[in-house]
């Protein structure tokens, strides 16, 4: 049987065929698709004692429809990424119960008792001391394990080969790392940003800096990345009295620059802060950058003595970490810009009333440009906070 696009009614039979569910008299399915690309279904029994999630890749971009075709093979990249993350950071992803390559479908743990971090923040929820630290730790665990520090050279070359993800990398190269700086049909923005959108497209220095980051993205194979680590790819909550953070949707995964994962998280933190500021509810975004970087750095340093190649000495580690920081700052800037004047905007801003959305978006855009252009001098979270405050003052 070939590739079947599943609908809500198909899920019970599908789960039974795949050996995940026996009692078809007691199964309730609902579609909860939320992301830009795929469909997601949740199946549960009436007592609420058993539940599963089914995620299927469509042969197009879900939010655009068949006019934007996309190979469903991206589910292979996602399944491969989950395998790697399960080895490096098993406590930070959902349990994967099965992957059906023929139908591009993953059957996994239902996380609906947790909340999407973006939704939690949009509703005024706080990070607590735990969430950003766990994200930084996850990036360190995955990136160390899949870098030349965590793997022998030949195995790494094999990982690079099996992790190529050209179609999804090209989406990022386009929608994040070039289109917002040129005329493109994917771009759109609030009319109150017309002047900044035009200014950004005419800014040759900005364009060259983005070109450099784009080239880093295309050529720097430091480690396996999640590849799309925004706050919509993170679930948070409590289970058995303990804080829980789960990262999902690693379909953009490939071997690339570590700073891309940290930068995407930071960008989404910073956009969330722009929303909070507009609503008069300050949250200290620099503290989240600090916590995630501290989580990343502490875990990377903890793992460093176990590196497989000791020609990489301690002095090199300092250089390496410094490069990751600077690239993270730059990538954060590119993600902010595309989320405001490119494709795939964020509900953090789009759900604000116009009179709040425009100033919040302007604030985010100006900070995004600053992070890109001046990333080399923004060496600490506090420097980013100060720069952000001084931009608003102008």
Cα 141 from Cα 78, distance rounded (Å):
18
116: three-class secondary structure by DSSP: strand
Cα 254 from Cα 184, distance rounded (Å):
26
171 scored as a contact of ligand SR1 (CB under 6 A)? yes
Q: Which CB, 19 or 65, lies closer to ligand SR1?
A: 65
Q: Cβ of residue 171: shortest distance to ligand SR1, in angstroms?
A: 5
Q: How large is the greatest C-alpha to C-alpha distance in the chain, in angstroms?
A: 64
Q: Which of 386, 387, 340, 384 is nearest to 362 (CA)?
A: 340
Q: Which stretch binds ligand SR1 (CB under 6 A): 21-29, 141-149, 170-178, 319-327?
A: 170-178
Residue closest to ligand SR1 when measured from CB atoms: 36
Q: Which stretch binds ligand SR1 (CB under 6 A): 31-39, 82-90, 141-149, 376-384?
A: 31-39
Q: Cβ of residue 222: shortest distance to ligand SR1, in angstroms?
A: 20
335 scored as a contact of Mg ion (CB under 5 A)? no
Q: Which CB, 159 or 176, lies closer to ligand SR1?
A: 176
61 scored as a contact of ligand SR1 (CB under 6 A)? yes
Cβ–Cβ under 8 Å, residues 61 and 51: no
Taking the alpha carbons at both ends of the chain, their separation in whole angstroms is 62
How many residues bind ligand SR1 (CB under 6 A)? The answer is 11
DSSP H stretches of helix in the chain: 11-17, 74-88, 117-122, 131-145, 153-162, 166-171, 194-202, 204-219, 258-278, 285-303, 314-341, 347-350, 354-373, 381-393
187 scored as a contact of ligand SR1 (CB under 6 A)? no
Q: Which of 42, 160, 218, 344 binds ligand SR1 (CB under 6 A)?
A: 344
Cα 115 from Cα 125, distance rounded (Å):
10
Q: Cβ of residue 175: shortest distance to ligand SR1, in angstroms?
A: 5
Q: Cβ of residue 97: shortest distance to ligand SR1, in angstroms?
A: 23
Cβ–Cβ under 8 Å, residues 330 and 175: no
370 scored as a contact of ligand SR1 (CB under 6 A)? no
Q: Which CB, 76 or 167, lies closer to ligand SR1?
A: 167
249 scored as a contact of Mg ion (CB under 5 A)? yes
Residues counted in the chain: 394
- Which residues contact ligand SR1 (rule: CB under 6 A)? 35-37, 61, 171-172, 175-176, 228, 343-344
- Which residues contact Mg ion (rule: CB under 5 A)? 35, 249
């Amino acid at each position: 049987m070939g590739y079947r696009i599943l609908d809500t009614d198909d899920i019970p039979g599908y789960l039974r065929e795949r050996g995940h569910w026996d009692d078809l008299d007691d199964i309730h399915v609902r579609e909860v698709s939320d992301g830009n690309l795929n469909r997601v279904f949740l199946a549960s029994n009436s007592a609420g004692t058993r539940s599963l999630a089914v995620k299927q890749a469509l042969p197009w971009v879900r939010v655009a429809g068949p006019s934007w075709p996309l190979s469903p093979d991206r589910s292979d990249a996602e399944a491969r990424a989950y395998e790697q993350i399960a080895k490096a950071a098993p406590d930070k992803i959902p349990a994967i119960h099965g992957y059906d390559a023929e139908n591009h479908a993953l059957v996994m743990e239902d996380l609906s008792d947790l909340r999407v971090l973006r939704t939690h923040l949009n509703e005024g929820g706080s990070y607590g001391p735990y969430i950003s630290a766990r994200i930084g730790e996850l990036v360190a665990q995955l990136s160390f394990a899949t870098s030349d520090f965590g793997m022998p050279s030949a195995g790494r070359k094999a990982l690079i080969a099996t992790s190529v993800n050209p179609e999804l990398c090209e989406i990022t190269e386009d929608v994040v790392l070039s289109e917002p700086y040129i005329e493109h049909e994917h771009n759109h923005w609030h009319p109150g940003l017309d002047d900044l959108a035009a200014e950004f497209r005419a800014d040759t220095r900005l364009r060259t800096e983005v070109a450099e980051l784009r080239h880093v993205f295309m050529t720097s194979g430091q480690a396996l990345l999640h590849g799309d680590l925004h706050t919509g790819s993170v679930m948070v909550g409590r289970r058995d009295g303990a804080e829980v953070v789960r990262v999902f949707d690693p379909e953009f995964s490939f071997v690339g620059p570590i700073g891309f994962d940290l930068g995407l998280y930071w960008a989404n933190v910073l956009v969330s802060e722009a929303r909070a500021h507009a609503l008069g509810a300050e949250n200290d975004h620099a503290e989240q950058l600090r916590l995630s970087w501290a989580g990343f750095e502490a875990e990377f340093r903890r793992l460093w003595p176990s590196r497989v190649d000791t020609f990489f000495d301690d002095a090199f580690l300092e250089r390496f970490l410094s490069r990751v920081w600077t690239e993270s700052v730059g990538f954060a800037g590119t993600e902010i810009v595309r989320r405001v004047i490119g494709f795939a905007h964020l509900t953090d801003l789009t759900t604000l009333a116009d009179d709040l959305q425009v100033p919040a978006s302007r604030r985010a855009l100006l900070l995004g440009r600053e992070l890109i252009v001046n990333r080399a001098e923004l060496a600490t979270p506090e420097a980013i906070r100060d720069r952000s405050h001084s931009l608003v003052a102008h």
